[in-house]
Amino acid sequence: MKCDIKRVEKEEIPQLAKLANEIWHQHFPTILTEEQIDYMVLNFQSENAMNSQLENGYEYYFMNADGNNQGYFGIQPQEDGTLFLSKLYLRKSYRGNGFARQAFEFMKDICKERGYKSIWLTVNKHNDDTIAIYKRFGMEIIRSQVADIGNGFVMDDYVFEYKI
């Protein structure tokens, strides 16, 4: 199945935040507590958070299929010549259709066009399905990290990298 990838405009941030809230509450209850999901959505996926991220160089993209936005991803160019894949999320009913692969190929093209040397991201160590997907894309774990995100919560992640 093909998805259309379209850059999110500032005025579409409310729609993006609503989609993010829906997807996070579908995907993460088996990995994180409801309290941590709510905290992370508020601090990293809300309208205010995303608007602030746009001001700091983030780019967001919708993945559209069947006439609706079924997922999204967020990237941020880094000063060291790499591309940080901050977010890549799909509605549950659209997972397994190759959309993540299409988004990843889109990001690889951005890297080639802009001269970035790699794509990197963080994945929760217990997010087994996502880890398997990124490994299939040819990404490699380069380290693990634990980041304090406030309110008593941490992100216990692997850092993946794909060299262009």
Ranges assigned E (strand) in the chain: 4-7, 59-65, 68-77, 82-90, 118-124, 140-150, 153-163
pLDDT at 29: 84
**Block mean pLDDT (10 aa), the chain, length 164:** 96 97 90 93 95 96 96 97 97 94 98 98 94 97 96 95 98
Question: What residue ranges define each of the domains in the chain, with the CATH number in brackets?
Answer: 4-163 (3.40.630.30)
pLDDT, tens only, 61-76: 999 999 999 999 999 9
Say if residues 116 and 83 touch (Cβ distance below 8 Å): yes
